[in-house]
Structure 1
Amino acid sequence: MNLTQIVTNALKAFRHDVPDYIGSGIVDISTGMLLAVDTVDNHPREILDVVAAATTDLFQGRTVVQVEELWKQNRGTTDNRHYFNEILVNSENLVHLFMRSKSNPDIVAVVICSRQVNIGMLFVQARQVMRQLENPR
């Protein structure tokens, strides 16, 4: 199965499995590009592109990388692990969950739900989809 099909399947699974789903996308943070997106409403492309750029900043921004490097120095580690793997953002009307792939740290899924979402169920269902994204059959 190629990357396009894997990403498409993940977006379908997010829509089907995540409660109070509004939309999702897959971002390659090494390039800042939005690989694919699915939303229940139409959104202007420039907004979607800004979400991709914001996702990249959340995980690869200068100060985030600096924090990760300082933790590595403090702990005496030299590996390439990232400390920030999941980030939950509550906006006025929405909940945004950003999840870094464990198998490919340059891939981040963004799942957006209404504020009424049960946060625990959001994490459970979104993590299940991420496992499918990382281990396609």
Structure 2
Amino acid sequence: MSDLDSVLQRAIQSIPECVAGGYVDLESGMLIGIKTVDSHPSEVMDMLAAATAEMFQGSNVVAIERMFKKARGVEDDGSHYFQEMIVNSDNLIHVFIRSKRSQEQVACFVCRRSANMGMVLTKVRQALPEIEAQV
């Protein structure tokens, strides 16, 4: 996993005002990799994978995805409708992006709220293929 750690570190350095990055496997509920520039409470790290799984695969989210597919005439082939989620808190931007290679994996990045949202999204999207290649 040291290669994944290196890739996450490079991503953090390239994403504006990024303070943490991680990679979550939704099927196993495991946090595959994590890198931070600040210290974060271990309780937060322990909950990251579970919270990410709930955001992307909770029963209500899956039901909404099915409704959107049906309304748009898209066949329900088991793929997921939601690919990215952004959560803003008082001080931080949290970006969650589903892997293109594996729908059951999600990259997570946390940036300071003062970062330019457009640049954050652009850099996160650019970082994803290199992260995927390490898993």
- What is the deviation of 1:16? 1.6
Partner of 2:16: 19
Q: Which residue of 45, 50, 60 corresponds with 1:48?
A: 45
* 4+ residue segments displaced more than 3 Å: none
Structure 2 CA distance for partners of 1:63 and 1:6, relative to 1, 3 Å: farther
The amino acid that maps onto 2:42 is R
TM-score normalised by structure 1 residue count: 0.88
Matched, 1:33 2:30: yes
Distance 1:99 1:129 in 2: 11
CA RMSD in angstroms, aligned pairs only: 1.6
Aligned residue pairs total: 133
Partner of 1:106: 104
TM-score normalised by structure 2 residue count: 0.89
- Maintained 8 Å contact 2:66/2:76: no
Q: Deviations over 1:15-70 (max 9, x none)?
A: 22101011011111112211111111122222111122111111011100111122
Larger CA deviation: 26-35 vs 113-122? 26-35
- Maintained 8 Å contact 1:14/1:111: no
Secondary structure of the 2:95 match is: strand
Partner of 2:86: 88
Secondary structure of the 1:104 match is: coil
- What is the deviation of 1:6? 4.8
Distance 1:76 1:36 in 2: 34
Percent identical among aligned pairs is 38
Q: Unpaired segments of 5 or more residues in structure 1?
A: none
